[in-house]
């Protein structure tokens, strides 16, 4: 089989490797589609992922495929099942795991980050991390279960109430998933702030009430203090500033995006005080992967406008570059 190993220093090497054999409690998956995540982009540039990365390793933690072999003791899945992978594996022993906050695990491992993942033709994972997909669901859509699961954790934190006005800052793949989940949560008005015209068009296609260009002063002015809940999905200072500007009194702000490690923002203390703002962070996907798969299998989410580009394993640097560019929304690698 072929596997694209990340060697560090913005370098991938496609290697010929034996197809893995499952151990007890494991399954082997023929990987069919793997999304390029913003975390992969950070790792590519030498920054941390959800856990420490030690090259060489096969990245790719947003993926789906077909079970081709099962190990001893596996009864929940069979050869031929279509599955998606929850990459995050928690230690179960630290204070966070034992206190209902396992996403903050001190010894977390992650498939596609610390263990070989989806940018290969095959992978082996614990059966506990594999979730069964409907056989009718496209593999590319099944690969989106992991970002959906992360977004569900953010939605849970946001506490959207039916009738709320929700503003999504950023119309990339995550923002467009958040848009759809906010709609399912009962938001009455769905506002999107996004400078890229292609992404604004996708947002409107997926149900946004309005999609504005924040670089246009008049459009920006029309959104000031407009939202009960603001979900920031970009990870840079202008986007965070927009999140504060668009929040009305009493609003909740969820800073969801993955920023650079040294990113900083001058907190508008008077706004927090005068508007009585609630500011929350959101990290990975504790116990939300099952719900994500249920939404996918039920056809509640649409990825047709989101998945825009596809690459083979032999073009990993090009796939990373495309995901960073303004012409794409979501890039998928097809092993």
H or E segment to which residue 12 belongs: strand 11-16
| 42 catalytically annotated | yes
Write down the catalytic residue from 11, 21, 39, 84. 39
Write down the catalytic residue from 11, 21, 42, 114. 42
Give the C-alpha separation, 110 to 60, whole Å. Answer: 10
Give the C-alpha separation, 232 to 171, whole Å. Answer: 10
Beta bridge partners of 193: 169, 212
CA atoms within 13 A on the CB side of 46: 2
Give the C-alpha separation, 125 to 167, whole Å. Answer: 37
The two beta strands, 130-132 and 57-58, are: unpaired
DSSP state of 5: E
Give the C-alpha separation, 212 to 175, whole Å. Answer: 14
Output the CA–CA distances (angstroms, integers) from residue 271 to 94, 146, 228, in the order listed. Answer: 37, 34, 15
**Phi–psi pair at 228, nearest 5 degrees:** -75, -35
Cβ pair 30, 68 in contact under 8 A: yes
| 68 catalytically annotated | no
Which residues are marked as active site? 39, 42
């Amino acid at each position: 089989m072929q596997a694209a190993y990340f060697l560090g220093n913005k370098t991938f090497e496609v290697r010929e490797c034996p197809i893995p054999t499952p151990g007890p409690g494991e399954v082997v998956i023929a990987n069919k589609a793997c999304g390029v995540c913003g975390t992969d982009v950070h790792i590519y540039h030498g920054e941390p992922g959800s856990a420490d990365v030690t090259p060489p390793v096969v990245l790719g933690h947003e993926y789906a495929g077909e079970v081709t072999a099962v190990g001893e003791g596996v009864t929940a899945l069979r050869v031929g099942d279509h599955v998606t992978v929850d990459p995050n594996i928690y230690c179960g022993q630290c204070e966070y795991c034992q206190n209902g906050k396992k996403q903050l695990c001190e010894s977390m491992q992650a498939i596609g980050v610390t263990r070989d993942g989806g940018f290969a033709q095959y992978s082996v994972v614990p059966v506990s991390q594999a979730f069964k997909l409907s056989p009718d669901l496209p593999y590319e859509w099944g690969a989106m279960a992991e970002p959906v699961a992360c977004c569900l954790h953010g939605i849970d934190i946001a506490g959207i109430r039916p009738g709320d006005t929700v503003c999504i800052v950023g119309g990339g793949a995550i923002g467009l998933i958040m848009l759809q989940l906010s709609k399912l949560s009962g938001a009455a008005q769905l506002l999107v702030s996004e400078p890229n015209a292609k992404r604004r068009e996708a947002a409107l296609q997926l149900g946004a009430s309005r999609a504005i260009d924040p670089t246009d002063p008049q459009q920006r002015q029309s959104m000031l203090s407009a939202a009960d809940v603001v979900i920031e999905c970009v990870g840079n200072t202008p986007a965070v500033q927009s999140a504060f500007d668009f929040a009305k009194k009493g609003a909740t702000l969820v800073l969801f995006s993955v920023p650079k490690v040294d990113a900083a923002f001058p907190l508008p203390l008077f706004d927090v005080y005068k508007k009585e703002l609630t500011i929350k962070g959101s990290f990975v996907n504790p116990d939300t992967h099952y719900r994500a798969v249920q939404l996918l299998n039920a056809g509640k989410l649409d990825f047709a406008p989101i998945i825009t580009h596809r690459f083979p394993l032999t073009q990993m640097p090009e796939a990373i570059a495309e995901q960073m560019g303004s012409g794409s929304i979501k890039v998928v690698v097809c092993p």
